[in-house]
């Protein structure tokens, strides 16, 4: 999709419906240290920060379910689906993860007649078989990420654990991080072949720039590989898109040009539901966006609450939290009042790029945005 689009929303897909994603960053500790993962409290991992205590984690579960219940009351029946994504850092690295996941299921019981919950985890799957066997019954769907920076021993453990998860008939998807270094890129391609051979669903993912001064620009050959991948679905040419600009070395910054949806959703531009895209232009500054209607992000370590983990847009059209876990009553009352009166502020994006949240319906025009949203709300 080029930058001529004036609106964007998910394509109609019964197998990949739009849902409400509760992103719960349970801990910042991680057992890996990948080159593309920003270290630090507001990065991808921070091993200097302690695991949050269980009692605070349980209070977060109560808040998340009460908050999302308010939004579910205004959704049409077909999309009253909630996904709780427990991640980190590395969430399965938390010493009390089994107790925490057990509490998730116990606390959901009071809401089960009103909306459907899927418990998923985004994990690197580098975990002992014994602990994995304890966790599997508590997770509906595993989103595992394959990292080429792993050691050979870790890569073998990764494969073994995926086969264990599959054996237990849990839904499983592997996100393969496509490193721009050619040797590591080839390693990712080999992993995709292994996943194909073992009939494991997978989603290759481009690396967005993370670590300062480290870029993950792709060669034309690598972009052609991505093009072939997207062409299988949409029959669009990626290399011919004028938004892709090569640098002096002939490399292409995909992250600065566009991206595909993290969840693999096909997207429609300009309410043209016959035309579907995977790779889309990702600059929506000043667009009206429904990200708060489909996302919530809890940063457990700092106890901050955001609409979304990447954009972090709030209700004053600025970047920042919408509340804290120490004052959830205030946020719950605010949300309840505005949703019941249909006065919830509409977020107008102030970011230069869109990453997570790409699939949230959005439009450059307020009237178009309002009309689009009618199909999602009662």
Q: Kindly tell me if the per-residue pLDDT of 213 is higher than 80.
A: no
Q: Which of 363, 343, 340 is nearest to 291 (CA)?
A: 363
Q: How much is the pLDDT for 118? A: 97
Q: Which of 228, 173, 225, 195 is nearest to 15 (CA)?
A: 173
Compute the distance between CA of residue 182 and CA of residue 360 in angstroms, rounded to an integer: 33
Among 14-23, 292-301, 345-354, the range scoring the smallest mean pLDDT is: 14-23
Q: How much is the pLDDT for 74? A: 93
Q: Give the pLDDT mean for 26-37.
A: 89
Q: Kindly tell me if the per-residue pLDDT of 298 is higher than 80.
A: yes
Q: How much is the pLDDT for 3? A: 57
Q: Kindly tell me if the per-residue pLDDT of 56 is higher than 70.
A: yes
Q: Which of 231, 245, 222 is nearest to 3 (CA)?
A: 245
Q: Give the pLDDT mean for 338-344.
A: 94
Contacts for 246 with CB less than 8 Å, ≥ 6 apart: 220, 252
Q: How much is the pLDDT for 277? A: 82
Among 7-21, 303-317, 351-365, the range scoring the smallest mean pLDDT is: 7-21
Is pTM, for the whole model, over 0.85?
yes
**For residues 318-340, b (16+ Cβ closer than 10 Å) or e, as one string?**
eeebbbebeebeebbeebeeebe
Q: Is 195 exposed, middle or buried (CB count within 10 Å of its CB: 0-12, 13-18, 19+)?
A: buried
Compute the distance between CA of residue 198 and CA of residue 156 in angstroms, rounded to an integer: 14
Residue 347's φ and ψ, nearest 5 degrees, are: -75, 130
Tens-place pLDDT, residues 83-135: 999 999 999 999 999 999 999 999 999 999 999 999 999 999 999 999 999 99
Domains in the chain with CATH codes:
18-215+289-357 (3.20.20)
Q: Which of 213, 294, 219, 287 is nearest to 261 (CA)?
A: 294
| Cα distances (Å, whole numbers) of residue 88 to 11, 80, 212, 301, 309 | 29, 26, 20, 10, 12
Q: How much is the pLDDT for 255? A: 66
Q: How much is the pLDDT for 14? A: 74
Q: Kindly tell me if the per-residue pLDDT of 246 is higher than 80.
A: no
Tens-place pLDDT, residues 155-174: 999 999 999 999 999 999 99
User: How confident is the prediction for the chain on average, in pLDDT?
Assistant: 89
| Cα distances (Å, whole numbers) of residue 271 to 38, 48, 52, 152, 251 | 36, 47, 43, 47, 33
Q: Which of 264, 211, 302 is nearest to 25 (CA)?
A: 302
Tens-place pLDDT, residues 189-204: 999 999 999 999 999 9
Q: Is the sign of the CA dihedral 155, 161, 164, 170 positive or negative?
A: negative
Among 48-62, 163-177, 230-244, the range scoring the smallest mean pLDDT is: 230-244
Q: Kindly tell me if the per-residue pLDDT of 322 is higher than 60.
A: yes
Q: Kindly tell me if the per-residue pLDDT of 208 is higher than 50.
A: yes
Report residue 215's pLDDT band, with 50, 70 and 90 as the boundaries: low
Q: How much is the pLDDT for 136? A: 98
- Provide, rounded to the nearest whole percent, the portion of the chain with pLDDT above 70: 90
DSSP assignments along 34-74, one per residue: -TTSPBSTTSSB-TTSPPPPHHHHHHHHHHHHHHHHHHHTT
Q: Kindly tell me if the per-residue pLDDT of 283 is higher than 80.
A: yes
Task: Tally the C-alpha atoms within 13 A of residue 200's C-alpha that lie toward its C-beta.
Answer: 31
Q: Which residue has the higher pLDDT, 318 or 229?
A: 318
Q: How much is the pLDDT for 1? A: 44
Q: How much is the pLDDT for 209? A: 62
Place of tokens 């270290």: 39
Q: Which of 180, 149, 176 is nearest to 33 (CA)?
A: 149
Compute the distance between CA of residue 285 and CA of residue 328 in angstroms, rounded to an integer: 29
Compute the distance between CA of residue 170 and CA of residue 356 in angstroms, rounded to an integer: 25
């Amino acid at each position: 999709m080029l930058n001529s689009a004036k609106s964007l929303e998910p394509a109609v897909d019964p197998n990949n419906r739009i849902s409400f994603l509760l992103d719960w960053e349970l801990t910042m500790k991680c057992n890996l240290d990948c080159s593309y993962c920003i270290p630090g409290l507001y990065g991808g991992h921070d091993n200097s920060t302690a695991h949050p205590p269980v009692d605070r984690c349980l209070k977060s579960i109560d808040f998340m379910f009460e908050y999302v219940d308010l939004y579910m009351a205004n959704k049409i029946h077909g999309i009253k689906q909630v996904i709780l994504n427990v991640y980190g850092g590395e969430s399965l690295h938390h010493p009390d993860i089994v107790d925490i996941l057990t509490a998730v299921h116990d606390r959901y019981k009071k809401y089960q007649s009103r909306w459907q919950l899927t418990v998923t985890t985004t994990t690197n799957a580098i975990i002992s078989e014994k602990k994995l066997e304890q966790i599997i019954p508590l997770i509906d769907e595993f989103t595992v990420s394959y990292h080429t920076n792993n050691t050979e021993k870790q890569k073998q453990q990764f494969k073994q654990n995926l086969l264990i998860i599959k054996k237990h008939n849990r839904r499983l998807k592997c996100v393969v991080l496509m490193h721009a270094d050619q040797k590591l890129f080839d390693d990712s391609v080999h992993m995709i072949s292994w996943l194909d051979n073992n009939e494991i669903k997978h989603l290759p993912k481009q690396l967005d720039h993370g670590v300062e001064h480290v870029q993950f620009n792709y060669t034309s050959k690598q972009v052609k590989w991505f093009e072939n991948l997207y062409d299988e679905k949409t029959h669009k040419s990626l290399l011919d898109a004028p938004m892709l600009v090569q640098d002096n070395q002939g490399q292409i910054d995909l992250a600065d040009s566009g991206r595909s949806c993290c969840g693999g959703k096909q997207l429609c531009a300009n309410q043209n539901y016959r035309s579907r895209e995977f790779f889309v232009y990702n600059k929506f500054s000043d667009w009206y966006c429904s990200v708060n209607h489909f996302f919530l992000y809890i940063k457990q370590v700092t106890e901050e609450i955001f609409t979304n983990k990447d954009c972090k847009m709030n209700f004053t059209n600025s970047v920042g939290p919408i509340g804290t876990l120490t004052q959830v009553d205030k946020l719950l009352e605010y949300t309840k009042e505005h949703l019941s009166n249909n006065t919830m502020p509409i977020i107008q994006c102030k970011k230069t790029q869109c990453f997570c949240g790409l699939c949230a319906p959005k439009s450059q025009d307020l009237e178009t945005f309002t009309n689009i949203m009618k199909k999602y709300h009662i």
